[in-house]
Amino acid sequence: MSAGWNRKEAGLFLLALAWLALTLGVRPLALPDEGRYVGVAWEMLTSGNWLYPTLDGLPFFHKPPLFYWITAASLGVFGTHEWAARLAPLFGAGIAAFTLYGFALRQKGETVARWSLLILVTQPFFFGGAQFANLDMLVAGLIASTILLAAEAGLNAERHKPYKGLLAGAYLGAALGVLAKGLIGAVLPGLVLVAWLAWNRRLVLMRKLVWLPGLFLFLLVAAPWFVAMQLRFPGFLNYFFVYQQFQRFAESGFNNPMPFWFYPPAILLLILPWSWWLPAAWKQTRLEPESKPTICSLMWIWPAVIVGFFSIPSSKLVGYVLPVLPALAYLIGDGLVRKWGGAPSPRLLKGFATVAGVVCLSAIAANNVFNHKTNRGLSSLIAAQRQENEPVMFLRNQFFDMPFYLGLKEPVAIFDDWRPESMSKHDNWRKVMSDAGEFDPQRARQLLIEHTRLAHFVCSHPVSWLVAPTGTEVEYPYLKQIAPLATYQTTAVWRLTRSEMSSTGGCRQTPSDDLADKSPPPRTPG
């Protein structure tokens, strides 16, 4: 069965997109992820350097630039609003919903398409991911669109229908996925498709899916940025692919170690109440009368491959498995339509949809009530009193969201212990900044400054603003004698004047603006 887009179908999709955007701007940027990634995009916009991302003025190559390009463009057009900072994940969610809706509409008809769309956008996991400003939903949407377009191209080729337009879209989606988060943007769709065709004994279709014009399109879109970075920063390809992509996947010293079985129960919990219907979907799949390659087998193999892939490393972040949600939504929607003979019980399923929607909104409300990790309030206090020529400095931490909320146009000097021997091998903000400094050592010496020189830098300005974790002042006798202007949770802000510093003995030596050049340099690139 197939159906096409019409005005009603387009209206339903736009309604679903509006639902995903409903609470886009009702909460502050979450720390550390949203603050860090939006801060990088903010720097891209204010610096005018759209070629490569920077974190506090230093090259930041943990991830490719697509998220930052979209977010910086959004902030440039709409201004410094939280909702504008979250349009990239909304775009990723919209791509996933659009391609799933179109795929189901053409392959299974209006009923399955509409229920699949409704189930997808009311999954709490998907709803939250669409409004969280990091890279996970953007790459998830592109992975999902690549799988769906390539699978439909394979189905059409099997049935001797036009397929090359769909295939071109799949290659473009894979290229954008690589620009969003690296190799997984192409590797995961490839693994899913190969496993699906192998399961259905249709590997011969790979001869049509591996398409030279598509490969050329892929390279044309994905490759130039990586080539440009290697030419500008020798060692980039080794750092990005060997360390960030392969070594981080294989090693166990990174964030959030979890057992092998972590993802399946996490997914089932995060898509409640819809996960209740997965057993029924499995039962209906076993009765599937379709000719091979079957669509339902694709939708089961898809999450199995992705969950299996991300279960291998010990580090497991829940956002990694966002790409499986469109497949699960389709399976539930199609299974329910089969269960009720093409006419699902509307009262029961509408009740489930209502409960799911309430859960989605409740999760956002709970975040606002219980999550106090934000510097928005302190930033507003600083902005109300700070003059443009008064520098902001960070001590013993990096406050990722403050440059965005303060509208800073220049990087912030960060005072800490930057000696190479003090660096942790584990992923934390200090290691991130130290790694970034390796690509621009000269600028790193001006921004990553030994904390023992803090007083010299403060005394070189009539007024300075210092942000530090509460309790840090016990290390610095002059700070102990000056009360912070404000504190919130674990963060304190000082407005320091040269006269105050002198009265506490903090300005005993003649300050010099070029003392930053005497700080120990970061490690040189390996």
347 and 422, same domain (yes or no): no
In a domain, 73, yes or no: no
277 and 326, same domain (yes or no): yes
Q: Which of 350, 370, 390 is the last residue of a domain?
A: 370
Residue 352 tokens, joined: 């489930």
Domain count, the chain: 2
Instruction: Decide if 94 contacts 20 (C-beta within 8 A).
Output: yes
147 and 125, same domain (yes or no): yes
487 and 387, same domain (yes or no): yes
In a domain, 169, yes or no: yes
Cis peptide leading into 511, omega within 30 of 0? Answer: no
Residue 121: predicted pLDDT:
95
In a domain, 295, yes or no: yes
pLDDT in tens, the chain (526 residues): 455 667 788 888 899 999 999 999 989 999 989 999 999 999 999 999 999 999 999 999 989 999 999 999 999 999 999 999 999 999 999 999 999 999 999 998 888 899 999 999 999 999 999 999 999 999 999 999 999 999 999 999 988 899 999 999 999 999 999 999 999 999 999 999 999 999 989 998 999 999 999 999 999 999 999 999 999 998 888 888 877 766 666 565 556 778 888 899 999 999 989 888 888 777 766 655 556 678 889 999 999 999 999 998 887 889 999 999 999 999 998 888 877 765 556 677 778 888 888 888 988 888 887 777 899 999 999 999 999 899 999 999 999 999 999 999 999 999 999 887 777 666 788 888 988 888 899 999 999 999 999 999 999 999 999 999 999 988 898 888 888 999 998 999 999 999 888 888 878 754 443 433 344 444 434 3
DSSP 8-class letter at 322:
G
274 and 413, same domain (yes or no): no
Residue 291: predicted pLDDT:
62
Q: For residue 227, how many other CB atoms are within 10 A of its CB?
A: 11
Q: Which of 370, 404, 427 is the last residue of a domain?
A: 370
Residue 440 tokens, joined: 């621009």
Q: Please tell me the distance from the alpha carbon of residue 318 to that of residue 69, in angstroms, as a whole number.
A: 24
97 and 210, same domain (yes or no): yes
In a domain, 204, yes or no: yes
397 and 315, same domain (yes or no): no
Q: Please tell me the distance from the alpha carbon of residue 350 to that of residue 337, in angstroms, as a whole number.
A: 14
419 and 474, same domain (yes or no): yes
Residue 128: predicted pLDDT:
94
In a domain, 74, yes or no: no
365 and 380, same domain (yes or no): no
In the chain, what is the straight-line distance between the N-terminal and C-terminal CA atoms, in Å?
A: 57
Q: How far is CA 504 from the centre of its chain?
A: 45
426 and 326, same domain (yes or no): no
Residue 277: predicted pLDDT:
84
Q: Please tell me the distance from the alpha carbon of residue 436 to that of residue 417, in angstroms, as a whole number.
A: 16
Residue 38 tokens, joined: 């939006």
In a domain, 441, yes or no: yes
For residue 15, how many C-alpha atoms fall within 13 Å in the half-sphere facing its CB? 10
Strand partners, 491: 469, 488
In a domain, 56, yes or no: no
In a domain, 61, yes or no: no
100 and 197, same domain (yes or no): yes
Q: Which of 370, 405, 426 is the last residue of a domain?
A: 370
Residue 65: predicted pLDDT:
95
Structural domain boundaries, residue 120: 7-27+82-370
301 and 404, same domain (yes or no): no
Residue 243: predicted pLDDT:
73
Helix boundaries (H) for 204-324: 206-209, 212-232, 236-237, 248-250, 263-270, 278-286, 295-311
